[in-house]
Structure 1
Amino acid sequence: MFLIPSHILFFSTLSFGVMMAVSSSSWFTAWMGLELNLLSFIPLISSETNQFSSEASLKYFLTQALASAMILLASSAMVAGIGFSYYLLTIALLIKMGAAPFHMWFPMVAEGVGWLQFIILSTIQKIAPMALMSYTIEDSYWLILIVAAFSAMTGALGGINQMMLRKLMAYSSIGHTAWMLSTLLVSESLWFIYFGVYCITSSTIAIFFYYKQAYHLNHLLSGSMQNPPQNCIMFMSLLSLGGLPPFTGFIPKWITIQELTMTSYTFLTFFLIVGTLINLYYYLRLTLASFMMASPMLKWQFLEQNSTSKMTTLLFLLNLVGLLSSPMVYMMS
């Protein structure tokens, strides 16, 4: 994907749009950055080898165009001094990041894109709306609080019966969006830590599925996936994404829970923890299916050289960071 010159160009303009939106001093320039980001991402979605890419790009464009129009309307209402303008602006940003209950487009778009495009959709495309959201927290506090609790439960319950891996990861992203919104209520630095860890864990799992060309739960039971070291690494990465101690993904959730309880967000913390437990349930179902229901391997499959051994080592080291740093964080807290 990123070796094609046109894709390099569009990815560069996409990144520039994010930086423009984050560093803007007015809502109009922020809107321009969001539009540049939108128009740069649509060509990256389109693919001749994926028959669902056109449908996904159209759904993404219509949803983001609606949210952009709401941003323009809200910014005009701010100038006129209308009271509901901040709520309208917050709703538009929530639509852009795919937070519940404005999330219906996110799993459908995720189902029609490839794994590399999914990484951009679930990570980079959330930066600008999240950064702009920090400017509206004081004026739309209760709305963000309710949306964070709703997103935690939607991301958890929506992924239970999913057999498609991209939809499952999409609902997982919605659940993590709830945690990111919760960190914004506490501090921006905490959001930066949580978002960074989420990007690493989510991207490594998506890259693993990309190299294995796994799109359905049944693909994890095929012969090409029956590699015990890789299955173990995938198991650790999924549990790290779910926030199970002592893996890397547990550290930012641990800090977030501490900060939320210290600032009297007990109600929100309850929904976040319950949603995480449900997420861990279908992560365990995903990994146990790969371990327990594996078909017998032939002798030549054991001797076959693995082309992704470097990636497996990298994933192991990333998960090892949590195993080593969790006691240090506990001692410092």
Structure 2
Amino acid sequence: MLNFSFVSLFIFILFFGTFFSLSSTHWFAVWFGLELNLMGFIPIMVQKSTMEETESGVKYFLIQAVGSGLFLFGVLLTSWDFSSWGLGFLGAVGKTGLAFFALLLKLGGAPFHFWVPSVAAGLSWLSNFLLLTWQKVAPLFMICCYLNLANYFLLGLVAMSSFFGGVGGVNQTSLRALIAYSSILHMGWLLAGASISWGVVFIYFFFYCIILFFISCLGMKEESLNMSQFSNIFVWKFYSRYCLVLMLLSLGGMPPFLGFFGKMLILVELLSLGNIVISIILILGSMISLYYYLVLSFSLLLSSSSEYMKSRAEIRNVVGFSMLVGLGGLWSLVWLYSL
């Protein structure tokens, strides 16, 4: 069980740091908010004090410290030329430089993705959920709103994210590592959405957070029942395995699940802007990830054939959960297009 009396203060610091960065008016305050966020997240990562969590916490701290140093140095160099710490001057002249690469390193996007799978592999599901969702909010917001990316540069980043995120997940046996490589792939979609509008990025990121939330809840539930921090997913109960399959297919963008509608929204906008090459690269990367999601899904379903449909209550739960996952994105898009 989580010691909420221990982590409550650090959760407050974690969220306060992110909101401080988002509400700042100059880059030094953004850097300060990112540091507050880091100081709040490290104790949450290592609160169980296991060897795996400690190793992941040290790796994450070193990477984020390097990213923070590069970010502050890059902003300082640019502000020296323009005599301003305002948020607008970097985007106005298109000078991303060290500041952009530092934010990309903190996000874990390709080609600075090397630390994400090894850090995620040793963390609890709560820490993994925060690492792959909330910890991306402030850097992603800064990249989307204040740093203009040239088309050729965006194409290279999307291609690398699709390649490393797609190929890296092949032959992975750890669900945590699989989700980590998936986050690298989704970062390509988010960067492509950043070339459209912040609203598109928000919708896609919101869908991604919902899917990852359900996966994390399943992981916490089954590992608490098995009294293990890293239990094998093939020993999970049938209902949990079935729900995990649905979540993995949704994460891979299989229609008509929730993840498909977020991808469809970005693809429609990209094609309307004439970005055909970027759209093809994103589709190819998602097809690779969907391949190993399908392999894992078939393995999970076939391994549970002896437990197949034990009770009618379980059948109703599975069918209801399937409809929620499958139709949630469809109704969301209908509502958005009606605005």
Please classify the TM superposition score into its range, dividing by the shorter chain length.
0.7 to 0.9
Aligned pairs for 1:239-254 within 5 A: 239-254=249-264
1:274/1:332 Cα in 2 relative to 1: closer, same or farther (>3 Å)?
farther
Question: Match for residue 85 of structure 2?
Answer: none
Aligned residue type for 1:47 = Q
Correspondent of 2:324 among 305, 318, 322: 318
1:77/1:142 Cα in 2 relative to 1: closer, same or farther (>3 Å)?
farther
Question: Match for residue 86 of structure 2?
Answer: none
2:123 & 2:140 partners in 1: Cα distance?
22
TM-score by length of structure 1 reads 0.87
Correspondent of 2:232 among 219, 236, 240: 219
Q: Does 1:258 align with 2:268?
A: yes
Cα pair 1:165 1:216 within 8 Å, conserved = no
Aligned residue type for 1:32 = F
1:77/1:187 Cα in 2 relative to 1: closer, same or farther (>3 Å)?
same
1:324/1:37 Cα in 2 relative to 1: closer, same or farther (>3 Å)?
closer
Aligned pairs for 1:34-183 within 5 A: 34-48=34-48, 50-81=50-81, 86-138=96-148, 142-183=152-193
1:34 & 1:146 partners in 2: Cα distance?
26
Instruction: Tell me the alpha carbon deviations over residues 188-243 of structure 1, each in whole angstroms, 9 at most, x when there is no partner.
Output: 00001000000001111122122112899982322xx242x443322222111111
1:55 & 1:18 partners in 2: Cα distance?
24
Cα pair 1:110 1:118 within 8 Å, conserved = yes
1:262/1:5 Cα in 2 relative to 1: closer, same or farther (>3 Å)?
same
Aligned residue type for 1:269 = S
| Structure 1 residue 137, shift from structure 2 partner | 3.2
Cα pair 1:241 1:249 within 8 Å, conserved = yes
Between the two proteins, the alignment pairs up a number of residues equal to 324
Q: What SS does the corresponding residue of 2:258 show, helix, strand or coil?
A: coil
Question: Match for residue 208 of structure 1?
Answer: 218
2:234 & 2:15 partners in 1: Cα distance?
37
Q: What SS does the corresponding residue of 2:179 show, helix, strand or coil?
A: helix
Q: Which runs of 5+ in 2 are unaligned?
A: 83-92
Q: What SS does the corresponding residue of 1:245 show, helix, strand or coil?
A: coil
Instruction: Tell me the alpha carbon deviations over residues 133-186 of structure 1, each in whole angstroms, 9 at most, x when there is no partner.
Output: 124432655434321221111111000111111011100011111111111110
- Alpha-carbon RMSD across the aligned residues, in angstroms, is 3.1
Q: Which runs of 5+ in 1 are unaligned?
A: none
Cα pair 1:86 1:140 within 8 Å, conserved = no
Name the stretch that deviates more: 315-324 or 257-266: 315-324
Instruction: Tell me the alpha carbon deviations over residues 70-117 of structure 1, each in whole angstroms, 9 at most, x when there is no partner.
Output: 111111111222899622111000000000110111111101111111
Name the stretch that deviates more: 261-270 or 65-74: 261-270
1:20 & 1:236 partners in 2: Cα distance?
36
- Percent identity between matched residues is 34
1:28 & 1:260 partners in 2: Cα distance?
33
Question: Match for residue 29 of structure 2?
Answer: 29
TM-score by length of structure 2 reads 0.86
Q: What SS does the corresponding residue of 1:89 show, helix, strand or coil?
A: helix
